[in-house]
Amino acid sequence: MLTLSTHLLGLQLSLACCCWALACQEVESSPDFSLPGDYIIAGLFPLHGESPGVRRKPEVTLCDRPNNFSGHGYHLFQAMRLAIEQINNSTSLLPNVTLGYELYDVCSESAVVYAVLSVLTPRGMRHIEIHQNLSYFSPKVVAVIGPDTTSHAATAAAMLSPFLVPVISYEASSMMLSAKRQYPSFLRMIPSDKNQVKTMVLLLQRFGWVWISLVGSNGDYGQLGVQELEEQASRKGICIAFKGIMPYSARAGDEKMRGMIHDLAQVRTTVVVVYAGRQLAKVFFESVVLAKLTDKVWVASADWAISSHITEMPGIRDIGTVLGVAIQQRVVLGLKDFEEAYVRADKGVLRSCPQGSWCSSNQLCRKCWTFTRDKMPTLGTFSMSSAYSSYRAVYAVAYGLHQLLGCPSGACSAGLVYPWQLLQQIQKDNLTFNNHGNLLGGYDIITWDWSGPEWSFRVIGSSTWSPVRLDINKTKIQWHRKNNQVPKSVCNKNCSKGYRRMVTGVHHCCFTCVSCEAGTFLNESDLYHCQPCGKEEWAPQGSQTCFPRTVVFLTWHNPISWVLLAANTLLLLLLGGTAGLFAWHFDTPVVKSAGGRLCFLMLGSLAVGSCSLYCFFGEPTLSTCLLRLAPFALGFTIFLSCLTIRSFQLVFIFKFSAKVPTFYHAWVQNHGAGLFVVLSSMAQLLICLSWLVVWTPLPTREYEHFPQLVVLECTQANSLGFILSFAYNGLLSVSAFACSYLGKDLPENYNEAKCVTFSLLLNFVSWITFFTTASVYQGRYLPIVNVLAVLSSLCGGFSGYFLPKCYVILRRPDLNSTEHFQASIQDYTRRWGST
């Protein structure tokens, strides 16, 4: 986008031409502001400031105002003259070729247009002839040094770009001038503001300043800089609490400035970034001093960071601490002596300005010369830095001519040089310029120092690129506070560890602190959101990190495991011992009445269930999950089936065999007891196979119930196959209980109602307890409850049915006789017959 001055180019051309025609043609050129040579370089310098006030009508701004003389511009053009004098005296850079110059005072846009029109005029001509092919257009100058500000540089670059005349600025740093499409011939001897903004943002980050105010000046330099700084600062998490732009017409203490200072004082920011040109920065700080706004940290842009324009103001030392970004300091050796010699030299007889004319720096007049001679300004650090840029710009042109004219061979071939040819040679200097025509350099980071009798600045670091890097020695900074601590500039204090920031307003820098919930943690990369921990991790409330979960399962070495394993092993030994005891006394009445061979099937089924308990210990695997409960369910079904049919047969023999002899004989002949056991067991086998195939118990990791644990378990408690299997066993238990209850009045040796009732009741209680626990608790101890339920069922079945018989065999052999059993049957027969 072109600047406003470029849009008004036509008007300015007309005004400048009028000025040139009416006021300037009668005055001879001064030998001090122009020098003939083989190749002419134009210099555009601000020798006078633009007249203050708002224009009421279109007019050309006059630059020869004695009371508005700019010592800064004076040093710039003297540096250019010194460089050309050194080059012309050199025997190696441009031998047998001389450089000339024409210097112009550019205090305004119209003055810039006048200067550009002047340099575009070919030698020996009084007008400009523009042909269709601009490549062969030959103005009287081969390059232009300057101008200073962004708006002036944009005007000059826009006018000279069609002719590809190199424009090398010594102070214009705006990012807009890097656009090669609009300004293809523009180069500069200072870095682009883009890197300055990056440096300032890094400076704010280095000190932790995230709540700042931002003040800029009207115009391309200030407004584009403020816009870029706001964008980059926002991306880095820095909040702009206040932003203000000073208009061109601003004056210290006027209504606009009082309002800006008042708003600035109202926001709670310690740090204020002032991105402004020197003139408006002075107005701003005059208003700051008037309002007695102190105890701040002021971050200065390069245009005013070390300018005496600001530092000589009364009361400026009380505003606080000033940090700034400044062009790296360079010294033009011999410049001071050169200026002093210029003043002392005998300039001949000077005549007064012609009546009705105006004195420009391109003309010889007594008033201009007397002012320069009597009031030569002091060469300050800021002026020296800019003067070095002007000095180096001349050498950049000379090096380009050196290559273009074939000077490396020892003698230059002087001839016609078109501006575009010189531009190509200058742009080839990759050690000086990048592809956008910007200087490859860096910045100094400075702080103002009031410790001595006069102001000075101290270099505390530097900035280099690319990428932009910042190096600061914080110990060199003398802060304005008594404890010399780094001032804080935040909307809220940082939250405690484990507390996230919850934004309470428009700016994310203003927040309240909220503790992170359990299972989440606060990552330092994102202070506004708590991050969830991974599945294998946990975190307490208000945590900054996650911890590994403890993996738990029923291990072999756990003390509870030892108890359960010992009890189960003891049960297996008892089962094996009972089987041996029954085999040894197989022909005795007790064994035969207990079921004979059926007893071994019952003992074996209980042993199978007992062996499945070992699969509950250790880390769950697919095989152990498959063998945990299915073998027990099938084995216990066999046991219950035998128990049921054993009770049923005793009741049927004693009570119903005489009444239904046909059914009894059919039952015996067709092995009804064995058939029932087989069919019942087959039904449970089918249920278990369906369970293992359709609802396969798999090893799983449970994360939900214990935030600090990962529970290794098998998926089984909620499966339909598991429920069907144990429901079937429950049905058999009820059947066994019913049959044993019907035989409660059988002969004493055959009456097992009490023992069976006890064992079945223990079985019911065990599994009801387990299912109730599983419905409300899923955790690391549930396998222990499961083992206890299985072990209780097995122990209940064994103790209720086999232990009484073992007692008779071992301790009461008198009851294990045929006579005792016959007497018991006869007694039952008599009682049954009498009833």
Q: Is the pLDDT of residue 16 over 50?
A: no
Instruction: Check whether residue 723 and residue 773 sit in a common domain.
Output: yes
Span 481-505, average pLDDT: 85
Query: Do the Cβ atoms of 460 and 487 come closer than 8 Å?
Result: no
352 is a domain residue: no
Least confident of 15-29, 441-455, 772-786: 15-29
Q: How far is CA 645 from CA 136, 238, 292, 671, 677, in A?
A: 122, 85, 107, 11, 8
Regarding whether 86 and 40 lie in a shared domain, the answer is yes
Residues 10 and 90 in one domain: yes
Give the count of beta carbons closer than 10 Å to the beta carbon of residue 819.
Answer: 9
- Condensed to tens digits (0 to 9), the pLDDT of residues 52-79 reads 444 444 445 556 555 667 778 888 888 9
Radius of gyration of the chain measured on its C-alpha atoms? 52
User: Does 384 share its domain with 235?
Assistant: no
Structure tokens at 777: 């608790």
Domain boundary among 485, 515, 548: 548
64 lies in the same domain as 157: yes
The CATH number assigned to the domain holding 629 equals: 1.20.1070
Task: Give yes or no: residues 152 and 19 share one domain.
Answer: yes
User: Are residues 205 and 299 part of one domain?
Assistant: yes
Domain membership of residue 144 (yes or no) is yes
The answer to the question of residue 40 being in a domain is: yes
- How far lies 415's CA from each of 97, 392, 443, in Å? 10, 24, 39
596 plus 727 within the same structural domain: yes
* Angle at alpha carbon of residue 440, lines to 434 and 446, rounded to 5°: 150
- What is the predicted pLDDT for the residue at 67? 60
Q: Answer whether residue 337 is part of any domain.
A: no
Asked whether residue 446 is assigned to any structural domain, the reply reads yes
CA–CA gap between residue 577 and residue 583 (Å, rounded) = 10
Same domain membership, residue 703 and residue 638: yes
When pLDDT is averaged across residues 772-782 and rounded to a whole number, the result is 78
* pLDDT for 455: 82
Among the ranges given (198-212, 254-268, 347-361, 739-753), the one the predictor scored with the smallest mean pLDDT: 347-361
Q: Are 111 and 155 members of one domain?
A: yes
Within 8 A by CB and 6+ apart from 662, the residues are none
Q: What is the mean pLDDT of residues 134-152?
A: 87
Q: Are residues 718 and 612 in the same domain?
A: yes
Percent of the chain with pLDDT over 90: 23
Q: What is the mean pLDDT of residues 221-250?
A: 91
Number of H helices, E strands in the chain: 26, 23
**Residue 810 forms part of a structural domain:** no
CA distance linking residue 692 with residue 630, whole number of Å: 8
Res. 345 pLDDT band, cuts 50 70 90: low
Counting the structural domains of the chain, the total is 4
- Torsion angle of C-alpha atoms 344, 346, 349, 355, degrees rounded to 10: -40
In a domain, 760, yes or no: no
Q: Are 417 and 101 in contact (CB under 8 A)?
A: no
130 part of a folded domain? no
> Half-sphere exposure (CA, 13 Å, Cβ side) for 651?
18
Write down the pLDDT at residue 399.
92
| Dist. CA 268–CA 492, nearest whole Å | 10
User: How large is the average pLDDT for residues 32-57?
Assistant: 74
Residue with tokens 């294990």: 816
pLDDT band at 39 (very low <50, low <70, confident <90, very high): very high
CATH number at residue 248: 3.40.50.2300
Domain span at residue 513 reads 499-548
Interatomic CA distance for residues 787 and 784, integer angstroms: 5
Measured over the CA atoms of residue 27, residue 30, residue 31 and residue 33, the dihedral's sign is: negative
**Residue 220 burial class via C-beta count within 10 angstroms: exposed 0-12, middle 13-18, buried 19 and up:** buried
Q: For residue 170, give every residue at least 6 positions away whose Cβ sits within 8 Å of its Cβ, in sequence order, or none.
A: 76, 145, 146, 148, 188, 189, 190, 386, 389, 390, 393
- Phi, psi of 625, rounded to the nearest 5 degrees: -65, -40
pTM for the full predicted model: 0.63
Together in a domain, 166 and 107: yes
Least confident span in 394-408, 499-513, 810-824:
810-824
Residue 253 structure tokens? 């203490």
